[in-house]
Amino acid sequence: MAAVTESLKGRHFTLVADWSRDELLAVLGLADDLKERRHRGEEHHLLPGRTLGMIFQKSSTRTRVSFEVGIAELGGHGLYLAASDLQLGRGETLRDTATVLSRYLHGLMIRTFAQADVEELARHATIPVINGLTDSSHPCQALADVMTIRERFGRLEGVRVAFLGDGNNVCASLMVACAKLGAEFVAATPDGYEPEERALELAREAGGSPELTDDPRAAAEGADALYTDVWTSMGQEEERERRLKDLWGFGIDEELVRLAGENAIVLHCLPAHYGEEIAESVLYGPQSAVWDQAENRLHSQKALMALVMP
């Protein structure tokens, strides 16, 4: 594992698919360790004096707070950068932004629309770039997701994950992470809401066999983890009415949880919309692992930063 850990210094984390199984496991291993150290109240200043810049072009609660608290707990400093306040918002190029910010910072997280913009930033930055969500992926979320699943079941191999609803960015990254780590994956979506073909290809290339269905009940039966996300992602607000209609019936309610069985867990990346993709009683019910999952954003991203930042 020492060789894997060394190889990660300076690496970008823009897509789960770019990282090997062992590299992902190195993050999860350190994340578990950092979680324990935090709960014991032990100091763990693995990045003293380092600064992480965080560019946000979309809203955030968890990503912003977990990265900002995370870098502080590692002994460093987080700098919140609203994209609209940067010259980037007035036409400065991603290349110039990356080149300049690389002179000040030790790591750069970005949440934006186009995956291509994150890749462009990474191409020109000499510091690690971390993808904090794009329209097509959410790799940091996937780290916390698989950490939570492993925590609950003690393994990832053979665990069956059912994603219900919109086959969106969160679905895509989770599907590839499951493929890399040996978990089974089924996506239950209405016609037209399947995961993107490119994400399916990446999952297959990673050794997975993602299944697709339009029957949420069939997906729930035999699932160890039921996962859902909002039906209208950031940037899709104008489609909300149509999406509500199209996705109706794909939400996680108590009946669906019963179909999965009493040992199944329920996951949601949050924010949630009660009565749409998830029932309030399920979110706060005994099988919900959602709050641990949200907490695990902190531990898994601290591990990620500690491994990639110089």
Q: Is residue 293 near ligand NVA by the rule CB under 6 A?
A: no
> 140: how many CB neighbours lie within 10 A of its CB?
25
Residue 45 tokens read as 């200043």
Catalytic residue (choose from 229, 268, 293, 301)? 229
Q: Is residue 102 near ligand CP by the rule CB under 6 A?
A: no
**CA 63 to each of CA 13, 204, 210, 271, 309: distance values in angstroms, whole numbers, following the listed order:** 15, 28, 27, 11, 18
Catalytic residue (choose from 138, 160, 243, 268)? 138
Per-residue contact flags (x/-) with ligand CP for residues 48 to 87, judged by CB under 6 A: ------------xxxx------------------------
For the bound state, the minimum distance from the C-beta of residue 133 to ligand CP, rounded and expressed in Å, comes to 6
For the bound state, the minimum distance from the C-beta of residue 284 to ligand CP, rounded and expressed in Å, comes to 17
Strands of 225-228's sheet, edge to edge? 211-213, 184-188, 160-164, 225-228, 265-268
Catalytic residue (choose from 12, 57, 62, 141)? 141
Q: For the chain, what is the total number of helices (H) and then of strands (E)?
A: 13, 9
- Residue 61 contact partner, candidates ligand NVA, ligand CP, none, CB within 5 to 8 A by sort of partner: ligand CP
CA angle 113/116/119 to nearest 5° reads 115
138 annotated active-site: yes
Strands (E), the chain: 51-56, 77-82, 107-111, 129-131, 160-164, 184-188, 211-213, 225-228, 265-268
Q: Of 225 and 259, which CB lies nearer to ligand CP in the complex structure?
A: 225
Tell me if 224 sits within 8 A of 263, measured CB to CB. yes
For the bound state, the minimum distance from the C-beta of residue 87 to ligand NVA, rounded and expressed in Å, comes to 25
Q: Of 169 and 189, which CB lies nearer to ligand CP in the complex structure?
A: 169
Cis, bond preceding 195 (omega within 30 deg of 0): no
Per-residue contact flags (x/-) with ligand NVA for residues 164 to 203, judged by CB under 6 A: ----xxx---------------------------------
For the bound state, the minimum distance from the C-beta of residue 43 to ligand CP, rounded and expressed in Å, comes to 26
CA distance 139 to 237: 22
Q: Of 135 and 184, which CB lies nearer to ligand CP in the complex structure?
A: 135
Q: Is residue 270 near ligand CP by the rule CB under 6 A?
A: yes
Burial readout 235-259 (b: 16 or more C-beta within 10 A, e: otherwise): eeeeeeeebeebbeebbbeeebbeb
Q: Of 70 and 76, which CB lies nearer to ligand NVA in the complex structure?
A: 70
For the bound state, the minimum distance from the C-beta of residue 30 to ligand CP, rounded and expressed in Å, comes to 21
Q: Is residue 141 near ligand CP by the rule CB under 6 A?
A: yes
Which residues 105-134 are close enough to bind ligand CP by CB under 6 A?
133
> 283: how many CB neighbours lie within 10 A of its CB?
18
**Contact residues: ligand CP, CB under 6 A:** 60-63, 133, 141, 269-270
